[in-house]
Structure 1
């Protein structure tokens, strides 16, 4: 799993879009007590459930791999000439 130079910004964007998507699906807002790790897992599982991303194999379901999946997902949603993709 190779890390890109804009992965942190892409993950932040993926989380913002993912939280918005979750709200549109009827989920309540993430409270102050929810850890970033739990937010990543929740967004990842929601996107898998809705068939927007392919699930990781059970032995690879961990924080870094879920984050990577979210980065890949948001990268595919952005236009080719987006500044975070260069």
Structure 2
């Protein structure tokens, strides 16, 4: 698994876009007390359920790989000239 350039910023953007997507799908807003780990897993599972991303192998499902998968997802959604992809 190769780390993406600007992966942490891409993950932040993915969480923002993912939360909006979840809200539009009818999911209640995340509580301010929800951990980042819980938000990441919830968004990952929602995107897998909606078949927007390929699921990880069961033995590869962990926080680091889920974060990487979300970063890859948002990187593919952004326009080619977006500053985070430079």
1:43 is paired with a residue whose SS is helix
Using the alignment, how far apart are the partners of 2:4 and 2:69 within structure 1? 13
1:75 and 1:5 map into 2 onto residues whose CA distance is 10
Match of 1:56 in 2: 56
**Residue of structure 2 equivalent to 1:4:** 4
Residue of structure 1 equivalent to 2:29? 29
Segments of 5+ residues of structure 2 without an aligned counterpart are none
TM-score normalised by the chain length of structure 2: 0.97
Output the CA distance in 2 between the equivalents of 1:53 and 1:15.
14
Matched residues, number? 86
CA distance in 1, matches of 2:4, 2:71: 10
Cα displacement (A) at 1:4: 2.5
Partner of 1:66: 66
- Compute the TM-score of the two structures, normalised by the length of structure 1: 0.97
